[in-house]
Structure 1
Amino acid sequence: MARWGLVVTSDRVKEHPEQDETTPMLRRLLGEHGHELVYTAIAGNDPVEILYHIAAALREGAEIVLVTGGTGPNPRDISADLVSRICDRVLPGVGEEFRRRSLEEGVANAVLSRALACSFRDRLLAVSPGSPGAARLMAELLLEVGDHAIHQLRGHRHEHHKHYTHNHGRTCRH
């Protein structure tokens, strides 16, 4: 079970922290799955502030850091750009699957999202759109693949032929 960090990026939420719906939702979701939220922060759309909080989450021992907000085409949407610059490797399937699931839920604007996940040393960084629903969707996806990703990032061998039950209800052999 992983230790998580959360950086909510939003000028509006930074000015009015009582409007933060993402942090309590994610704390509940992670707790339900036996994961721990070890670091939370609200940052404005400021590159220094966002990078500071990502680094702080990593220092606190977060194995997965989710940054919410900053994935759209607006010039102030900088989180995806910042995270992609510090990545060791982008894991494109995560962003692709996030957009696919969003479209499946009827969110047409998902095609504009630059949601992503990547490795940073032996940690996993991800960026989702800022809405609580988008953050939940990304967190659910990371709950499915995050532990395995961390295991692999630490250089462990693949453990083949295990059976997993995924959220689609089918048991798969990997």
Structure 2
Amino acid sequence: MAIPHQNLPISSVNCAVITVSDTRTFETDMSGKLAQELLINANHKIIHYDIVKDEPEQIKSLLISLVKNPILDTIILSGGTGISPRDNTYDIVSQMLEKTLSGFGEIFRYLSYQEIGSRSMCSRATAGLYNGKIVFSLPGSSNAVKLGLEKLIIPELTHLVTQINQG
């Protein structure tokens, strides 16, 4: 398979990992720990990690605050992408994105379907650009975080950051 863009000038991306949950703590957040581990193992840096309640104003406020950090390149959220009344992440993130990477959610659900079947249609995983930063929003399960990071985010992260930094 041909790769459309040659040698990327950056090799490490500065990341924020955010878990959206009403119940997880820093001790019990396996998905957040896994996301950090996978990113670090891929030579990326974690410059912010947090857990926020699945409250629209808290999610929005945190995103607004994070994008002001000039060294931050990407924000990876996990949790709140389902359809239960408490799942607010997708609704907030999708309203804030200035450009959407539609293929991210489509491919994520396709890959997820191969693992969990038709239940994958309940995922509202999404990605796009907000204020010059790449934002990924994944379901909160460790399996979903692993799938999204290993199959989609990590392979394309430096390319995406290079593209948005070309100004």
Query: Quick one: which amino acid aligns to residue 37 of structure 2?
Result: R
Instruction: Rate the CA distance shift 1:112–1:65 in 2: closer, same or farther, 3 A.
Output: same
2:27 matched residue in structure 1:
18
Say which of 94, 109, 115 aligns to 1:99. Answer: 109
Q: Which residue of 1 aligns with 2:162?
A: 151
Which of these residues, 111, 117, 126, is aligned with residue 121 of structure 2? 111
Moved more, 34-43 or 103-112: 103-112
Counterpart in the other structure of 1:88: 98
CA RMSD between the two structures: 1.6
- Distance, in Å, in 2 between the alignment partners of 1:143 and 1:27 is 12
Rate the CA distance shift 1:142–1:92 in 2: closer, same or farther, 3 A: same
Distance 1:39 1:107 in 2: 33
Deviations 1:94-148 (A, max 9, x none): 1111111111123431111110001113210011111111112222211111221
Q: Aligned pairs, how many? A: 154
What's 2:60 paired with? 51
Report the AA paired with residue 112 of structure 1.
C
Going from structure 1 to structure 2, the CA distance change for 1:5 and 1:107 (only over 3 Å counts) comes to farther
Which whole-Å CA distance do the structure 2 matches of 1:124 and 1:37 have between them? 14
* Post-superposition offset of 1:154: 2.4
Is the contact between residue 41 and residue 53 of structure 1 (CA under 8 Å) also seen in structure 2?
A: no
Give 2:14's aligned residue. 3
The letter of the residue matching 1:41 is: D
Pair 1:39-2:48 in alignment: yes
Taking structure 1 as the reference length, the TM-score comes to: 0.82
Q: Is the 8 A contact 2:67 2:131 kept in 1?
A: no
SS in 1 for 2:109: helix
TM-score norm. by structure 2 comes to 0.85
User: In structure 1, what residue type is equivalent to 2:60?
Assistant: L
SS at match of 1:45: coil
Whole-angstrom CA distance in 2 between matches of 1:57 and 1:22:
20
Q: Hey, what does 2:149 align to over in structure 1?
A: 139
State whether residues 34 and 145 of structure 2, in contact with CA within 8 Å, keep that contact through their aligned partners in structure 1.
no
Unaligned residue ranges in structure 2 (runs of 5+): 1-11
After superposition, residues 117-132 of structure 1 pair within 5 angstroms as 117-132=127-142
